[in-house]
Amino acid sequence: MSERPKAEAHSIAPETKGVAAIVGFLLFVELSSGFLQGYYTPLFSNLTEHWGITDASITWFVTVQTLAASVCVPVLSKLGDIFGHRRMLRIAVIAVAVGSLLVALAPSYPLALVGRVLVGPLAVWLPLEIAIVHSRLTQTSARRAIGMLVASITVGAILGSVVAGVAGGLSSMTMILAIPVVILILCVIAVFVAVPESTERARPKIDTIGFIGLAVTMLLIMGGLQVASRQGFTLTAILLIVAALAIGTAWVWWEKRVEAPAIDIRIVTQPQLWPAYLISFVLGMMVLGSQTILMTFMGAKPEVAGYGFSFAPSQLAIVTIASVAPATIASFLIARLAKRIGLLGVLTTGLVLAIGGHLMLIFLNGSLTLIMIAIMVNGFGSGFLLAALPALIAEESPADSTGIATGIYNSLKTLGGALASAAFGMILAFFTLEGVGASSRTGYVTIWVVSLVAVILALLSLATIRKSRPVTTFVSVPEE
pLDDT digits (tens, 9 = 90+) for 203-256: 667 788 988 988 898 889 888 887 887 777 788 989 999 999 999 999 999 988
Answer yes or no: is 19 within a domain: yes
Q: Which of 243, 261, 279 is the last residue of a domain?
A: 261
Same domain, 180 and 224: no
Whole-number Cα distances in Å, 396 to 139, 294, 297, 382, 423: 11, 35, 39, 21, 32
Q: What percent of the chain has pLDDT over 90?
A: 39
Give the pLDDT confidence of 104-116 residue by residue, as tens digits: 999 999 999 999 9
Query: Among the three residues 162, 185, 202, which one is the final residue of a domain in this structure?
Result: 202
Burial of 306 from C-beta contacts in 10 A (0-12 / 13-18 / 19+): middle
The CATH number given to whatever domain includes residue 290 is 1.20.1250.20
Is the domain of 67 the same as that of 195?
yes
Apex 224 CA angle, 222 and 230, nearest 5: 105
Residue span of the structural domain in which 53 resides? 10-202
Sign of the four-CA dihedral 335, 344, 407, 83: positive
The reply to whether 32 and 159 lie within a common domain is yes
Distance in angstroms (rounded) separating the CA atoms of residues 376 and 379: 5
Residue 4 domain-assigned (yes or no):
no
The predicted structure's pLDDT at residue 14? 44
pLDDT value, residue 218: 85
Amino acid 17: pLDDT? 54
Q: Does residue 2 lie in a domain region?
A: no
Q: What is the pLDDT of residues 126-136, one digit of tens each?
A: 999 999 988 88
3-state helix, strand, coil in the chain (%, to 5): 80, 0, 20
Quick one: pLDDT at residue 9?
41
Best CA proximity match to 237, nearest among 426, 469, 8, 22 = 426
Among 168, 202, 236, which residue terminates a domain? 202
Q: What is the pLDDT of residue 377?
A: 96
Statement to judge: residues 448 and 339 lie in one domain = yes
Is 177 found in the same domain as 120?
A: yes
Residues 145 and 215 in one domain: no
> Within this chain, do residues 344 and 273 fall inside the same structural domain, yes or no?
yes
5, part of any domain: no
Distance of CA 262 to the CA centre of its chain: 21
Q: What is the pLDDT at residue 19?
A: 64
The pLDDT assigned to 471 comes to 40
pLDDT tens series, the chain, 480 aa: 434 333 334 444 444 455 666 788 899 999 999 999 888 888 887 888 889 887 667 878 888 888 888 888 888 998 888 888 999 999 999 999 999 999 999 999 999 999 999 999 999 999 999 999 888 888 888 888 899 999 999 889 888 888 888 887 888 899 999 999 999 999 999 999 888 887 777 666 778 898 898 889 888 988 888 788 777 778 898 999 999 999 999 999 998 888 778 787 877 888 888 899 999 999 998 888 777 788 888 988 898 888 989 888 668 778 888 888 999 999 989 989 999 999 999 999 999 999 999 999 999 999 999 999 999 999 999 999 999 999 999 888 887 788 888 999 988 898 888 888 888 888 888 888 877 667 889 999 999 999 999 999 999 998 887 544 444 433 444 444
338 and 218 belong to one structural domain: no
Kindly state whether residue 61 falls inside one of the protein's structural domains.
Answer: yes
Q: Are residues 27 and 143 in the same domain?
A: yes
Query: What pLDDT, on a 0 to 100 scale, did the predictor assign at position 480?
Result: 43
Give the contacts of 54 (CB within 8 A, at least 6 positions apart).
Answer: 48
Specify if 474 maps to a domain: no
Residue 431: DSSP 8-state: T
- Residue 478 lies inside a defined structural domain of this protein: no
Q: What confidence score (pLDDT) does residue 278 get?
A: 93
- Contact between residue 96 and residue 119 where contact means Cβ atoms under 8 Å apart: yes
Q: Taking a C-beta distance cutoff of 8 angstroms, is the pair 186, 382 a contact?
A: no
In a domain, 133, yes or no: yes
Q: Into how many domains does the chain fold?
A: 3
**Same domain, residue pair 190 and 229:** no
pTM, to two decimals: 0.83
- Residue 164 sits in the same domain as residue 17: yes
The confidence score (pLDDT) of residue 63 equals 81
| Nearest by Cα to 251 from 261, 239, 266, 240 | 261
Looking at the fold, whether 255 and 279 belong to one and the same domain comes out as: no
